[in-house]
């Protein structure tokens, strides 16, 4: 299935059934990593006691089925 970009960003275990939630697709890994960092920064800024390193591990970037960054 084509999602419009080569790199897919997932938030691990975020769906009610425990599966990963597809967040967005991007053409480059740099865009995908920047998106993840932006999501994490938003949560850290607006949530008391949020752990940035722990949050970063909750995201996964896949290269159309090949995991590239966890």
Q: What is the pLDDT of residue 69?
A: 55
Residue 33 lies in domain: 7-69
Q: What is the pLDDT of residue 12?
A: 95
| Spatial CA neighbour of 56 closest among 44, 45, 68, 67 | 44
pLDDT in tens, 20-48: 999 999 999 999 999 999 999 999 999 98
Tell me the pLDDT band of 68, cut-offs 50, 70 and 90. Answer: low
By residue count, the chain amounts to 70
Please tell me the total count of domains within the chain.
1
Q: Determine, yes or no, domain membership for 2.
A: no
> What is this structure's pTM?
0.81
| Residue 1 pLDDT greater than 60, yes or no | no
Q: Determine, yes or no, domain membership for 30.
A: yes
Chain position carrying tokens 């998106």 = 35
């Amino acid at each position: 299935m084509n999602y419009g970009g080569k790199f897919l960003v997932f938030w691990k275990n975020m769906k009610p059934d425990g599966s990963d939630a597809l967040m967005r697709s991007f053409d480059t890994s740099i865009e995908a990593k920047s998106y993840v960092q932006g999501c994490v920064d938003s949560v850290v800024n607006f949530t008391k006691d949020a752990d940035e390193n722990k949050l970063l591990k909750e995201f996964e970037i896949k290269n159309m089925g090949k995991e590239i960054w966890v």
